[in-house]
């Protein structure tokens, strides 16, 4: 054996030994994980629909993990700052993300997205599906959906449509509504669903399409806003008297806000498995199930609440919304 061959073999053996040592260290760290607080990052403001879901899940997840799960609102840039932050965080499982379908729409909406939803994350699992409702201020001239359609078509330059910001699902729902009705309304973006809802109830804006986690209490109150329909193909059990937009003429109108949980790419599988187990414990928690049912939402099935379930769904939704957004000609900087 030549001197060079022996040297190469020693180097290869050293590299393998180092890799094995690092692997063993990683496995040991994963075995004792978590040893400190886990931060669950929310891309939207406190009090908004995604924040409500995150805070419901945080307590039972923390109990399962044996460490506190704190919710942190990282708001801005249409919900893209939070995913970018998590994507670039240390991949040790201590910083994770909950996000809605904005993960699937961002690639088509933004010309320069600083992260790739399909490449820069590990998937923990789907969380739940949330229907949406179309509301107006309480003194809006129309009282029925046919009256609403007639009014906006004749007065589109006078009607304002609020949303929770660029990239928010309320913007996407509103965009689909305008596209199918054939109107272009004045859109008013807010920094979160809470401020948008407050201004709708205060009469500062005319219309808002938002998640049931935000709108059901307002609808059931019956005094602060009008409701014209729900965005799912079937009526909701909590709002049985509210017809769907599909049955009222907007055929095929189906917007259901799904949520998923993510970790930075490269997070150890053992850590992902623990996070997934904690998520499934939270989904089965009696208080979580009760609160989610009250908000007319559906928790993910065991098949969906898996890394593979979320990955497949995200891939399909990216393809779906790419077509819709490009057809509508909508984009954001």
93-130 confidence digits (pLDDT tens): 999 999 999 999 999 999 899 999 999 999 999 999 98
User: Reduced to 3 states, what is the DSSP secondary structure of residue 137?
Assistant: strand
* Confidence at residue 176, expressed as pLDDT on a 0 to 100 scale: 86
Q: Is the pLDDT of residue 15 over 90?
A: no
Q: How far apart are CA 61 and CA 291, in angstroms?
A: 16
pTM, whole model, 2 decimals? Answer: 0.77
**Higher-scoring residue by pLDDT: 219, 213:** 219
Beta 121-130 vs 160-163: how paired, if at all?
Answer: unpaired
Domains of the chain (ranges plus CATH)? 36-130+258-328 (3.40.190.150), 132-230 (3.40.190.10)
Average pLDDT, the chain: 90
Q: What's the mean pLDDT in 199-209?
A: 97
**Higher-scoring residue by pLDDT: 122, 168:** 122
* Confidence at residue 22, expressed as pLDDT on a 0 to 100 scale: 47
Give, for 65, the enclosing helix (H) or strand (E). helix 49-65
Q: Is the pLDDT of residue 28 over 90?
A: no
How many of the other CB atoms lie within 10 Å of CB of 21? 10
Q: How far apart are CA 213 and CA 48, in angstroms?
A: 8
Burial of 329 (0-12, 13-18, 19+ CB in 10 A): exposed
Q: How far apart are CA 221 and CA 12, in angstroms?
A: 71
How many of the other CB atoms lie within 10 Å of CB of 8? 11
Cβ 254 vs Cβ 233: under 8 Å: yes
Nearest to 57 by CA among 157, 126, 136: 126
User: Reduced to 3 states, what is the DSSP secondary structure of residue 224?
Assistant: coil
Cα angle 200, 206, 208 (rounded to 5 degrees) comes to 65
Query: What whole-number percentage of the chain has pLDDT above 90?
Result: 67
Cβ 79 vs Cβ 170: under 8 Å: no
Q: Is 51 left (phi over 0), alpha (psi -120 to 50) or beta?
A: alpha
Per-residue pLDDT band for 21 (boundaries 50, 70, 90) equals very low
Q: In sequence order, what are the residues at sequence separation of 6 or more whose Cβ sits closer than 8 angstroms to the Cβ of residue 93?
A: 33, 34, 38, 263, 267, 268, 271, 272, 274, 275
Q: How far apart are CA 55 and CA 226, in angstroms?
A: 28
């Amino acid at each position: 054996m030549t001197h060079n061959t022996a040297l190469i073999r020693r180097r290869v053996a050293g590299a393998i030994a180092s890799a094995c040592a690092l692997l063993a260290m990683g496995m040991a760290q994963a075995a004792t994980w978590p040893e400190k607080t886990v931060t669950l990052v929310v891309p939207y403001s406190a009090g908004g629909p995604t924040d409500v879901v995150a805070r419901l899940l945080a307590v039972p997840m923390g109990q399962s993990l044996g460490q506190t799960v704190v919710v942190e609102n990282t708001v801005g840039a249409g919900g893209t700052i939070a995913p970018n932050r998590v994507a670039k965080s240390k991949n040790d499982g201590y910083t994770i993300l909950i996000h809605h379908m904005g993960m699937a729409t961002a690639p088509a909406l933004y010309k320069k997205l600083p992260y790739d939803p399909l490449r820069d994350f590990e998937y923990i699992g789907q969380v739940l599906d949330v229907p949406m409702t179309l509301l107006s201020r309480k003194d809006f001239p129309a009282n029925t959906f046919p009256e609403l359609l007639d009014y906006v078509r004749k007065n589109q330059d006078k009607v304002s449509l609020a949303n929770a910001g660029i990239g928010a699902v309320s913007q996407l729902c509103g965009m689909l509504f305008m596209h199918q009705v054939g109107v272009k309304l004045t859109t008013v973006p807010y920094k979160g669903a809470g401020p948008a809802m407050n201004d709708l109830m205060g009469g500062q804006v005319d219309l808002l399409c938002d998640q049931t986690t935000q709108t059901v209490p307002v609808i059931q109150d019956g005094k602060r806003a009008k409701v014209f329909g729900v965005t799912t193909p079937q009526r909701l059990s909590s709002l049985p008297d509210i017809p769907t937009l599909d049955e009222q003429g907007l055929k095929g109108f189906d917007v259901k806000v799904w949520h998923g949980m993510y970790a930075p790419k490269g997070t150890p599988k053992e850590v992902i498995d623990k996070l997934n187990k904690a998520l499934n414990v939270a989904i089965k928690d009696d208080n979580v199930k009760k609160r989610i049912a009250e908000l007319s939402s559906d928790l993910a099935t065991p098949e969906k609440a898996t890394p593979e379930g979320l990955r497949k769904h995200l891939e399909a939704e990216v393809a779906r919304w790419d077509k819709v957004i490009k057809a509508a000609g909508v984009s954001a900087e």
